[in-house]
A and B are shown apart, each in its own frame.
Chain A
């Protein structure tokens, strides 16, 4: 969540000698990140990213509270000019209450909807434009200007961090014109409300709503008011409405209806109930001053569980343990106090009292360390290596990573191109490959038909790689090392690493690659993997583990034979019962045969070269010839 407020807006609360760009720099390092500063007229607009658990900072006053703690650590002057939480107490308006003029009949149907409910009716409202400072600040904040009453409502939110709502009292008044009924309850499924923006919303159910007692919904609480109760140019009497709602419920409504207003973004984070008082009183002040409003009812405030100050007890050593350096006790205390935490010290122990505006994000001693460390400055902590510790890599991981790296580089040097494909494929690819859809895990909420099923083979993707690249290059040779996901009954799938190779040259090219790879990995006696031909593409797939199990760092050393090797060439006419394999098997029966080389193949005429030698003496040409005769 980002909010925009201006430099002068901050200066309403902050006394400082810090320039706007310095504020950006220092706050970003130790608190909320100010992503941009823009000069607009005589003011500067800060675009601030609110840290997700720090909704208490999402206002001019919230940022001021941070600045007061942060800036002095950069050698800047920063003091609180005024504190609205202390200044705008109910006691300031309590005497102006009018018990009998106008009334609200409030009923809250369930007690988990709203943790604090406050409201007041104001009379004699004159609708008109809001004062220029409010207009300018709201414009800077990116909020549309409507009229003085609505603008003040928005201004309150960005000044104090508490959204408010304003109803036109007369539009929802009972027939006596003196009272109105407000029933706060959960919505029923399919119940309808037309919101301020004139859209009809079909409610999913269990949303917090207000009904006027005659079955009419007048507010989709925390999200947007109803069109039937909104302020217009003729509005005379208003209800200033300040609540804190159950954050889970607001969030659910936002998610299910898709209506995300700025107010909802505040409420769904969970607001501090104590903020309600200052917001309502400040609101009354502003409405009196800029809309000539007068208080016309009693002050309603339903707050069943007021904040009981919670405390966290920890030790000074704990700060050192997490931060890695020892900082003076008085610095720790000073930082905590500057952030509004009260502290009591007992020797090495420290008791920290959590202010109301931090009651939701500060829960454990680690949270306090974060506060102290960030204000002290992460940049003031040294860079250290963790103390040495011996950690062993499990053998299976080590082998997988080592051997796959070796395979990758080898295949690259043979001229193959590594590809990384998505683990998910389409139904079409599965079917085209003759696999069964039901053998694959399916993604329930995929965003595209292209990526709906988890691969159980690398080949459909590799085949597609070749097809997609046809015309871009003549000879295409791809490989991929990746996991496939083989479903298991009632369990996570088996994730198996595979090596897949595909090329569009010829059968012997792929066979040669495989033979060379086995040689490179020093694998002896490995059944040659099956080569599949699909159209002009030759493919193969091997479980990586089967290679890893047999791969060796070094091949077996054979002593160098000092005796002569006799080379003999012979040509065969290949046919069904005389294949190379058969010739080889026969030739290998000789104890003197070292190896066979293919010299040439012309039509079905195969010329082979046979290498013969003996281990203990020089073999004669005659002997070798005799061996070859047998083939």
Chain B
């Protein structure tokens, strides 16, 4: 009993947990003190009382020492510095390709007004990319869509196998799949043989197609204006300018008002350096050419429709956050680019 060194042990304790363990060690149900009380039973009767008193004294002493130490520890603990400005626990942060967010945003915007997203072949027959879009063989308009050709046997009816240079090849495919009403958007990878700071051989396009009875130009304007306001902001507006595409008639070039000068072409009394004239080119569009409807098995006397084609990359780079001066970085797979998003 004399060799118990509880005093020292309690004095050395540095935390409440250690103190608690000491309490259990000495005062617990199976603790040292209880053991000592058990041992009393083995002593002769006359010695029991004296011994019992002594153990009780030690017990009280331990209790007092532990209590004192506890409040001592509490005091010193309060003074310990707690730095709440340290960063929180680190969670993994991955990233999605910025185009994934842009495409998702576009799809959501169009889904809200009842357009469905479809997907059609990227490796296509010439027929769907050209003939079905009112661009017969040898037509110069085909030059506007420089095309990759695949080494493969030509199809008797549909011609050569190509990588589709635009998403418009999905127009005829959609018309073959369903009869009007048609309301689709088709966002896909497209391919053209250009590779420099402003072109990549693979890029994305996003096609809208709306066909029904009595669809007219105001519906095209309304839809694109809605998209522009949702995607770029309420203050933006669109304008249509005349253009020529083989697969639409009438055809338009669609401009969106510049986000910096808001279509004025001037900013702080100076020429706007972003847009020069107040407007940025956004898309090509038009009313579906009657020949295209016919080739899709739709009677142009009964139905009319519109179509447009945008570049998601361009839409993305027209946003304030994404001033990219070399588009090739999108497909470089560089982690320093990817992990930012």
Interface of A toward B, CB cutoff 8 Å: 28-33, 51-54, 248, 251, 268-269, 321-325, 364, 366-367, 369-370, 373-374, 378-379, 381-394, 397-398, 400-401, 405, 408-409, 411-424, 441-448, 451, 454, 461, 464-465, 468-469, 472-473, 476-478, 483, 485, 487, 490, 492-493, 495
From 319 to 341 in chain B, residues with beta carbon under 8 angstroms from any chain A beta carbon are 330-331, 333-336, 338-339
Chain B residues with CB under 8 A of A472 = 334-336
**Taking A386-B223, A445-B148 as contacts, is the C-beta distance between A52 and B183 under 8 angstroms?**
no
**Taking A391-B115, A447-B193, A492-B161 as contacts, is the C-beta distance between A381 and B217 under 8 angstroms?**
yes
Cβ-based interface call for B244 (8 A): yes
Q: How far is the CA of A158 from the CA of B96 in the complex (A)?
A: 52
Tell whether, in the assembled complex, residue B212 and residue A408 are in contact, meaning their CB atoms are under 8 Å apart. Answer: no
- Of A385, A469, A492, which one neighbours B222 at CB under 8 angstroms? A385
**Taking A385-B222, A397-B117 as contacts, is the C-beta distance between A424 and B202 under 8 angstroms?**
yes
**Taking A321-B214, A412-B94, A446-B193 as contacts, is the C-beta distance between A388 and B114 under 8 angstroms?**
yes
Cβ-based interface call for B46 (8 A): no
Residue on B with the closest CB to A270? B140
Cβ-based interface call for B75 (8 A): no
From 60 to 112 in chain B, residues with beta carbon under 8 angstroms from any chain A beta carbon are 92-97, 99-100, 104, 107
Tell whether, in the assembled complex, residue B219 and residue A389 are in contact, meaning their CB atoms are under 8 Å apart. Answer: no
Chain A residues with CB under 8 A of B216 = 321-324
- Of A394, A412, A423, A478, which one neighbours B118 at CB under 8 angstroms? A394
Tell whether, in the assembled complex, residue A417 and residue B339 are in contact, meaning their CB atoms are under 8 Å apart. Answer: yes
CB distance from B59 to the nearest CB of A (A): 34
Residue on B with the closest CB to A497? B119
The residue among A31, A385, A398, A477 with the most chain B CB atoms within 10 A of its own CB is A385
**Taking A391-B115, A469-B333 as contacts, is the C-beta distance between A493 and B123 under 8 angstroms?**
yes
Interface of B toward A, CB cutoff 8 Å: 92-97, 99-100, 104, 107, 113-119, 121-125, 138, 140-141, 144, 148-153, 155, 161, 163, 177-178, 181-184, 189, 191, 193-195, 200-202, 210, 212, 214-219, 221-223, 225-226, 239-244, 249-253, 287, 289-290, 304, 330-331, 333-336, 338-339
CB distance from B139 to the nearest CB of A (A): 10
Tell whether, in the assembled complex, residue B96 and residue A366 are in contact, meaning their CB atoms are under 8 Å apart. Answer: no
Chain A residues with CB under 8 A of B244 = 51-54
The list of the 6 closest CB pairs from A to B, nearest first, reads A415-B92, A370-B250, A324-B216, A324-B218, A389-B181, A393-B116
The residue among B121, B151, B241 with the most chain A CB atoms within 10 A of its own CB is B241
Chain A residues with CB under 8 A of B217 = 322-324, 373, 378, 381
Chain A residues with CB under 8 A of B125 = 492
Tell whether, in the assembled complex, residue B114 and residue A444 are in contact, meaning their CB atoms are under 8 Å apart. Answer: no
A370-B249, A379-B239, A386-B219 given. 7 additional CB < 8 A pairs?
A382-B221, A391-B184, A397-B118, A473-B336, A485-B122, A490-B153, A493-B123
Chain B residues with CB under 8 A of A468 = 333-334
Tell whether, in the assembled complex, residue B221 and residue A386 are in contact, meaning their CB atoms are under 8 Å apart. Answer: no
Tell whether, in the assembled complex, residue B149 and residue A444 are in contact, meaning their CB atoms are under 8 Å apart. Answer: yes
Q: How far is the CA of A400 from the CA of B118 in the complex (A)?
A: 10
Tell whether, in the assembled complex, residue A422 and residue B123 are in contact, meaning their CB atoms are under 8 Å apart. Answer: no
- 14 CB < 8 A contacts A-B: A51-B244, A366-B289, A378-B239, A385-B113, A386-B183, A386-B219, A389-B183, A393-B118, A419-B97, A422-B201, A441-B123, A442-B151, A464-B333, A492-B121
- Of A321, A444, A483, which one neighbours B150 at CB under 8 angstroms? A444
**Taking A322-B217, A370-B250, A383-B225 as contacts, is the C-beta distance between A412 and B95 under 8 angstroms?**
yes
Q: How far is the CA of A265 from the CA of B99 in the complex (A)?
A: 38
Tell whether, in the assembled complex, residue B97 and residue A420 are in contact, meaning their CB atoms are under 8 Å apart. Answer: yes
Q: How far is the CA of A425 from the CA of B136 in the complex (A)?
A: 31
Tell whether, in the assembled complex, residue A423 and residue B290 are in contact, meaning their CB atoms are under 8 Å apart. Answer: no
CB distance from B39 to the nearest CB of A (A): 33
Chain B residues with CB under 8 A of A412 = 94-96
Chain B residues with CB under 8 A of A387 = 212, 214
Tell whether, in the assembled complex, residue A447 and residue B97 are in contact, meaning their CB atoms are under 8 Å apart. Answer: no
Q: How far is the CA of A32 from the CA of B239 in the complex (A)?
A: 15
Chain B residues with CB under 8 A of A367 = 249
The residue among A29, A412, A490 with the most chain B CB atoms within 10 A of its own CB is A412
Tell whether, in the assembled complex, residue B152 and residue A441 are in contact, meaning their CB atoms are under 8 Å apart. Answer: yes
Tell whether, in the assembled complex, residue A445 and residue B193 are in contact, meaning their CB atoms are under 8 Å apart. Answer: yes
CB distance from B267 to the nearest CB of A (A): 18
Tell whether, in the assembled complex, residue A420 and residue B122 are in contact, meaning their CB atoms are under 8 Å apart. Answer: no
- Of A370, A445, A447, which one neighbours B195 at CB under 8 angstroms? A447
Tell whether, in the assembled complex, residue B338 and residue A419 are in contact, meaning their CB atoms are under 8 Å apart. Answer: yes
Tell whether, in the assembled complex, residue A33 and residue B117 are in contact, meaning their CB atoms are under 8 Å apart. Answer: no
Tell whether, in the assembled complex, residue B335 and residue A473 are in contact, meaning their CB atoms are under 8 Å apart. Answer: yes
Chain B residues with CB under 8 A of A447 = 193-195, 201
- Of B104, B155, B226, which one neighbours A405 at CB under 8 angstroms? B104
**Taking A248-B138, A442-B151 as contacts, is the C-beta distance between A419 and B333 under 8 angstroms?**
yes
Q: How far is the CA of A328 from the CA of B332 in the complex (A)?
A: 56
Tell whether, in the assembled complex, residue A325 and residue B140 are in contact, meaning their CB atoms are under 8 Å apart. Answer: no
Residue on A with the closest CB to B154? A490
Tell whether, in the assembled complex, residue A28 and residue B241 are in contact, meaning their CB atoms are under 8 Å apart. Answer: yes
Tell whether, in the assembled complex, residue B330 and residue A383 are in contact, meaning their CB atoms are under 8 Å apart. Answer: no
- Of A386, A421, A492, which one neighbours B123 at CB under 8 angstroms? A492
Q: How far is the CA of A3 from the CA of B223 in the complex (A)?
A: 34
Chain A residues with CB under 8 A of B287 = 322, 366
- Of B124, B151, B240, B338, which one neighbours A443 at CB under 8 angstroms? B151
**Taking A321-B304, A469-B334 as contacts, is the C-beta distance between A29 and B339 under 8 angstroms?**
no
Tell whether, in the assembled complex, residue B221 and residue A383 are in contact, meaning their CB atoms are under 8 Å apart. Answer: yes
- Of B226, B240, B249, which one neighbours A378 at CB under 8 angstroms? B240
Tell whether, in the assembled complex, residue B222 and residue A383 are in contact, meaning their CB atoms are under 8 Å apart. Answer: yes
Q: How far is the CA of A374 from the CA of B240 in the complex (A)?
A: 9
Q: How far is the CA of A466 from the CA of B86 in the complex (A)?
A: 33
**Taking A370-B242, A379-B239, A495-B123 as contacts, is the C-beta distance between A417 and B95 under 8 angstroms?**
yes
- Of A322, A374, A394, A477, which one neighbours B304 at CB under 8 angstroms? A322
Chain B residues with CB under 8 A of A417 = 94-95, 335, 338-339
CB distance from B75 to the nearest CB of A (A): 39
Chain A residues with CB under 8 A of B140 = 52, 251, 268-269
Tell whether, in the assembled complex, residue A364 and residue B182 are in contact, meaning their CB atoms are under 8 Å apart. Answer: no
